[in-house]
Amino acid sequence: MRLSVLDQSVACSGRDEGHALRDTLDLAVDCEALGYHRFWVSEHHALPTIVGSAPEVLMAAIAARTTRIRVGSAGVMLPHYSALKVAEQFRVLDALAPERIDLGVGRAPGGDMRTAMALNPNAAHGAEDFPQQVLDLQAWTQGRREHGITAHPRPPAGAAGPEIWILGSSDYGARLAAQLGLPYAFAYFFMDGQGVEQALGLYRSLYRPSERHPRPQATICVWALAADSDEEARFHALGRERWRLDRQRGRLGPLQDPARITEQGFSPEEQLQVDASRRRAFVGEAQRVAERLAELARALELDELVVNTWAHDPAVRRRSYALLAAQFGLAQKRNPSEL
């Protein structure tokens, strides 16, 4: 069982947004030491909560500070960009960190449509070109000539180049990944897993083997928070619970301190929503969280899970990842008690 990480560089109240990016770098170093397989970073725009807007830049910094862990995007929102420019960026990353780079791509805007139009004036039609963009990426990242153009720096002879993943939370991404013979990652945490069985079933049943991936390769990204006790975990999960409620009302901002949320409390209506979400959440004492994650992986026939964790205190996140690493028996260089 492999465990990997998705980090979204979440801004927290009381600290500047740059702190979120620096914390991402520190977390990547810790997770490599703990034995995690991949460390992925996301792309969002014009959001005051998730401030990782340039995954390719952040990936370069992470790759420079690590030596083993795979480093990837989850993902580059491809319709915003020229496929050639993305290929060049990831060819550079692959040259700097050979055989460690994942190129996860999605077609969602990663923000509102006004922002999407600012990134690409043709954004309204960009999603229609997504399949062709992925095909072009495959050629250019592998060093092949496409449309009379080669992306540089070219890989050494025999090198595979960045591993392309299709990201999604619907049947569309599953079908495209299957058609192109590419790995597929389902964003389980988007809608608390709704549609995951159907998406993975379509991906596996429709899969067309490719040279690099003769068999389907799938994973899901799950939000989880582990602590030394259920009470502690639930306390630190309050920030994300508050954020989800506020997002429904169009109020976005940095992650709030759970102590402040405790003082303010939830309205009766909000408490009903929070109680319902808690019944589905992977939040609690580490052993129980690990058991539930392992049960989910078995049910979906997965041998890898990607874990996403938010907490107002960076030490709480590091502790959560350390506890899960210990529960799953990852090859650690540190004891969780040191974090």
Q: What is the pLDDT of residues 305-332, one digit of tens each?
A: 999 999 999 999 999 999 999 999 996 5
Give me the mean pLDDT over the 116-142 stretch: 89
Mean local confidence (pLDDT), 28-43: 97
Whole-number pLDDT of residue 332: 52
Residues 6+ apart with CB under 8 A from 248: none
Q: State which CATH number among 3.40.50.1000, 3.40.50.261, 3.20.20.30, 3.40.50.2300 fits the domain covering 2-224+285-338.
A: 3.20.20.30
The pLDDT score that the predictor gives to residue 333 is 46
Residue 191 has pLDDT above 90, yes or no: no
pTM reported for the whole predicted model = 0.95
pLDDT above 70: residue 338: no
Pairing of strands 163-168, 101-106: parallel
**Token pair for 330:** 């990852």
Closest C-alpha to 204, from 300, 131, 71, 317: 300
Does pLDDT of 131 surpass 50? yes
User: Which three-class secondary structure state does DSSP give residue 52?
Assistant: coil
Greater confidence (210 vs 126) lies with 210
Tell me what pLDDT residue 331 has. Answer: 66
Report the pLDDT value the prediction gives residue 125, as an integer from 0 to 100.
Answer: 75
Q: Where in the chain is the domain with CATH 3.20.20.30?
A: 2-224+285-338
Collapse the DSSP code of 220 into the 3-class scheme (helix H, G, I; strand E, B; otherwise coil) and give the result.
strand
Residues 108, 58, 320, 255, CA torsion sign: negative
Tell me the sheet residues that pair with 153: none
- Mean pLDDT computed over 181-187: 98
Tens of pLDDT, residues 63-116: 999 999 999 999 899 999 999 999 999 999 999 999 999 999 999 876 788 888
Q: From CA 271, how far away is CA 262, in angstroms rounded?
A: 12
Is the pLDDT at 184 greater than 90, yes or no?
A: yes
pLDDT digits over 234-284, tens only? Answer: 999 999 999 999 999 999 999 999 999 999 999 999 999 999 999 999 999
Percent of the chain with pLDDT over 70: 97
Residue 30 has pLDDT above 80, yes or no: yes
Average pLDDT on 16-20 reads 97
State how far the Cα of 232 lies from the Cα of 235, in Å rounded to an integer: 5
Rounded mean pLDDT of the chain? 94
